[in-house]
Structure 1
Amino acid sequence: MTAPLRLTRHAGVALEVLAYLFWLAVDMVQAVSIGLPRGAATTLAGCVVAGIVLSRRRVPLDRVVVPAFAASLLFSVVSVALGAPSMSFTEQLALAVVTVVALRNASDRRVLWVAASALAAIVLSPVLRTPVAGTSDAFSVLSALGWGGAVAIGLVWRETAARRRAALTDARSAERMELARELHDVVAHQVTGIVVAAQAASVVARTSPDDVDRALAAIERAGTDALTAMRQMVGVLRGGEEATRTLGAELGEIPDLIARFDPSGGLVRLRANPGFAHAVLPAGVAATGFRVVQEALTNVRRHAPEATAVEVEIGIGAEELRVAVRNDGARARREGGGGFGITGMAERVAALNGTLTAGPAGPGTWAVDARVPLR
């Protein structure tokens, strides 16, 4: 427990105890006015129930709620039989507190039981117990209002907590989806590069044995890049030195991405605004642009290995970032086939209120076009 949270908890306990002491003093004044035996029993009832409610910080709440209500009802039954105790203000406050806390934490099936038990304990107390002269009706109305207020506060607190849990669940789900997309982007791109390099090495080994070393070096570079990317991601997740980084990349990394994809420089052509690598864009926009290019190039490797021309276009306008990747040599794709790459790209872009299209752009041509607003 953090220091601020501990301080807040201790302050809450102190305020609750002070409230009990205040109403205990009122009970003692009442005890003097109605006589010692009956007044002492009233004060004792308030102390017993308040003590039970305060123990909830030490024992499970279930072991507090039932004894608190049961003790209050028992005192009411004793009052009917013996004429004491009367209604205790300390006891009423303690019952209201335990009602609020119980409703906040009770399961859906027990909410009605808690409210009904509180009604019996709080509202019936001034009705069943020996009244103080001229106060029975007033105490009955005040007790009913107190019960209604406690139930209302407990239910509102319960709803607030439920919404907070739902928001936390949604945030965790969104974070898991983000990590899944990042993992897919990094691993799929790097591993696909390794597979392609290994296939190329196999061909080279048969046709040009002298070039095998260069092919193996390409595989080694691809594996090293994959390990570096995974270490960076794990560093972010573990909260170490890498935690100051974001999981995303920047537009300035696109030329290096293209160089790794096309070492010879004869396949991919990059068209972009001058100085695009240093453009200052809203949070997430640059990383999304990079991931779109990365996934599109990965899909070229997978689905268009015979491609002879790939064009990457980066356009930064006044209103939007446009990222487009076009390639020839595209094979027909089965409906619903492939992995989650296009879906992940579309989710990334949509999260920034952008649009993405991916599909055939002519015979044997495939195009990916993403537009992300800058405002």
Structure 2
Amino acid sequence: MIRLLRWIRRHAGLVAELAAYGFWLLIDLIMVVDSGPFGTLVAVVSVPLVVLLRRRADVRLVPTAATAIGLSILISLFSTAHVAALLGVPGPVSALAFTEQLALAVVVVTVLHRCPLRPALVLTVAAAVAIVGSPIMRMTDSPASVLSVMSALGWGGAVAIGLVLREIDTRRRAAVEDIRSAERMELARELHDVVAHHVTGIVVAAQAAAVVARTSPDDVDRALSAIEHAGTDALTAMRRMVGVLRGQDAEGARTPGAELAEVRTLVHRFDPDARLVRLTTDPGLEHAVLPPGVAATGYRVVQEALTNVRRHAPHVASVEVDIRIREEALLVSVRNDGVPPAPVSGRVGGGFGLVGMGERVAALDGVFAAGPTGPGIWTVSVRLPLRGAR
């Protein structure tokens, strides 16, 4: 039973769609048994089945939607009075099917929501022909005009819903891109610090080489090697940062900023009475010498996670901040038992701070995760490799 409830929760959209089809299918069957032509069953069954195929991962939406719309139009053309007379049928071959109309409305919403603009508009117009034209072509009595008006209103409602969903997705993508652009702008502002940090090391090594050349000529090679390594480190750091500024996901580093030694101060500001947050670290980690990008990113992940707790989990009872070094990587975890913030995937409103965290961690080839890890538990976890980070 629990497994079934989990499946229903995970596929809530499919369950709702099937329930709607089932309701209108029952009404269509009653009408067919009462007085409707049995050809209606073809439209009732075939069109919704084709529309449901869009949920398969290996099925493309545009051909599936076109097939469903085309099938409905063919059924309507086949049901006109002229064709029925040629077949020797006293009445229309099929009548208006509410289940079919619902399936076509779902097609309109889906293509306007997900498809590129041009095919979405073409399919929407074709769906209008199928939805509004079906009562006109399949019915010859007076209710046909009334039902065609109702069908037109239904098509208009589906168009409105699809356009609203499309606009929401567009704004969501724009907001996420703004967050990423803000992260890259911050990288640009900090680029000077990285360059200054490494170039200063090169200058110091060159000055030391000059002294060594006068006092101990045999050690000049060692001093030159130090300059070479410092220059290589500077190029690597700059290449990583420029990679992020160009929009590359796999490269980029963070610059010196807040260090892990300041995490305890950050936690104290968040929880002055020390009743809510428990901080756990390895002994001496706060004073460990870490690559500046890793240290700054670790600090900012904790900062953003605590900020999200304050904003999105007002009834939180406890927060656990855990920072450790394991297997040449910095592990940061922030866990709370309150109402979680929106997931980073962006399917629910809010949560743009998580996008920024993901951008920072990806810049250092790290692993970022944010989501529920138990009943009422929300965890933000990060793994930042130490080897090769600058």
Question: Which TM-score applies when normalising by structure 1?
Answer: 0.54
In the alignment, which residue of structure 2 is the partner of 1:110?
119
Aligned residue for 1:71, secondary structure, equals: helix
Unpaired runs of 5+ residues, structure 2, are 85-91, 245-253, 271-291, 294-390
In the alignment, which residue of structure 1 is the partner of 2:72?
72
Q: How does 1:74-153 map to 2 (within 5 A)?
A: 74-80=74-80, 81-82=83-84, 83-131=92-140, 134-153=142-161
* Deviation of 1:208 (Å): 4.2
* Deviation of 1:47 (Å): 0.9
In the alignment, which residue of structure 1 is the partner of 2:49?
51
Q: Could you say if the C-alpha distance between residues 252 and 156 of structure 1 is closer, same or farther in structure 2, counting changes exceeding 3 Å?
A: closer
Q: Distance in 1 between matches of 2:139 and 2:199?
A: 84
* Alignment match of 1:154 (pick from 162, 168, 176): 162
Q: How does 1:228-307 map to 2 (within 5 A)?
A: 249-250=257-258
Indicate whether 1:22 and 2:29 are aligned.
no
* Deviation of 1:170 (Å): 2.2
Q: How does 1:157-236 map to 2 (within 5 A)?
A: 157-179=165-187, 181-182=189-190, 185-186=193-194, 188-209=195-216, 216=223
Which letter does structure 2 place at the counterpart of 1:205?
A: V
Q: Could you say if the C-alpha distance between residues 8 and 156 of structure 1 is closer, same or farther in structure 2, counting changes exceeding 3 Å?
A: farther
Which gives a bigger RCO, structure 1 or 2 (Cα 8 Å, sep 6+)? 2
Aligned residue for 2:202, secondary structure, equals: helix
When the two chains are superposed, the root-mean-square deviation of aligned CA atoms in Å is: 4.2
* Deviation of 1:120 (Å): 0.3
* Deviation of 1:91 (Å): 0.3
Q: Distance in 1 between matches of 2:125 and 2:156?
A: 11
Q: Could you say if the C-alpha distance between residues 95 and 191 of structure 1 is closer, same or farther in structure 2, counting changes exceeding 3 Å?
A: same
Q: Could you say if the C-alpha distance between residues 9 and 101 of structure 1 is closer, same or farther in structure 2, counting changes exceeding 3 Å?
A: farther
Q: Distance in 2 between matches of 1:65 and 1:279?
A: 57
Unpaired runs of 5+ residues, structure 1, are 238-245, 254-275, 284-289, 292-375
Q: Could you say if the C-alpha distance between residues 109 and 88 of structure 1 is closer, same or farther in structure 2, counting changes exceeding 3 Å?
A: same
In the alignment, which residue of structure 2 is the partner of 1:270?
none
Which letter does structure 1 place at the counterpart of 2:49?
A: G
Q: How does 1:354-365 map to 2 (within 5 A)?
A: none
Aligned residue for 1:203, secondary structure, equals: helix
**Contact map agreement 2:62 2:119 (CA 8 A) in 1:** no
**Contact map agreement 2:132 2:151 (CA 8 A) in 1:** yes
Q: Distance in 2 between matches of 1:134 and 1:142?
A: 14
**Contact map agreement 2:114 2:166 (CA 8 A) in 1:** yes
Q: Distance in 2 between matches of 1:248 and 1:89?
A: 64
* Deviation of 1:16 (Å): 0.6
In the alignment, which residue of structure 1 is the partner of 2:348?
none
* Deviation of 1:21 (Å): 1.1
In the alignment, which residue of structure 2 is the partner of 1:369?
none
Q: Could you say if the C-alpha distance between residues 212 and 282 of structure 1 is closer, same or farther in structure 2, counting changes exceeding 3 Å?
A: farther
- Segments ≥4 residues shifted beyond 3 Å: 4-9, 176-184, 205-213, 250-253, 278-283
Q: Distance in 2 between matches of 1:128 and 1:33?
A: 21
* Deviation of 1:33 (Å): 2.4
Superposed CA deviations along residues 317-373 of structure 1, whole A, max 9, x for unmatched, are xxxxxxxxxxxxxxxxxxxxxxxxxxxxxxxxxxxxxxxxxxxxxxxxxxxxxxxxx
Q: Distance in 2 between matches of 1:61 and 1:68?
A: 11
**Contact map agreement 1:204 1:211 (CA 8 A) in 2:** no
Superposed CA deviations along residues 258-303 of structure 1, whole A, max 9, x for unmatched, are xxxxxxxxxxxxxxxxxx9x987999xxxxxx99xxxxxxxxxxxx
In the alignment, which residue of structure 1 is the partner of 2:35?
34
Superposed CA deviations along residues 79-100 of structure 1, whole A, max 9, x for unmatched, are 1022121110000000000111
Q: Distance in 1 between matches of 2:103 and 2:16?
A: 13
Aligned residue for 1:189, secondary structure, equals: helix
Superposed CA deviations along residues 27-65 of structure 1, whole A, max 9, x for unmatched, are 111112215xx1x21122111100110011122112211
Q: Distance in 2 between matches of 1:184 and 1:42?
A: 72
Question: Which TM-score applies when normalising by structure 2?
Answer: 0.52
* Deviation of 1:7 (Å): 5.5
In the alignment, which residue of structure 1 is the partner of 2:353?
none
Which letter does structure 2 place at the counterpart of 1:66?
A: A
Q: Distance in 2 between matches of 1:104 and 1:195?
A: 55
Aligned residue for 1:87, secondary structure, equals: coil
In the alignment, which residue of structure 1 is the partner of 2:63?
63
Superposed CA deviations along residues 199-237 of structure 1, whole A, max 9, x for unmatched, are 212431354449979x959x69x959x69x97xx99xx9
Q: Distance in 2 between matches of 1:9 and 1:92?
A: 26
Q: Could you say if the C-alpha distance between residues 212 and 197 of structure 1 is closer, same or farther in structure 2, counting changes exceeding 3 Å?
A: farther
Aligned residue for 1:24, secondary structure, equals: helix
Q: Could you say if the C-alpha distance between residues 97 and 168 of structure 1 is closer, same or farther in structure 2, counting changes exceeding 3 Å?
A: same
Q: Distance in 2 between matches of 1:5 and 1:197?
A: 62
Aligned residue for 1:169, secondary structure, equals: helix
Which letter does structure 2 place at the counterpart of 1:154?
A: G
**Contact map agreement 2:66 2:123 (CA 8 A) in 1:** no
Q: Distance in 1 between matches of 2:121 and 2:257?
A: 53
**Contact map agreement 1:123 1:144 (CA 8 A) in 2:** yes
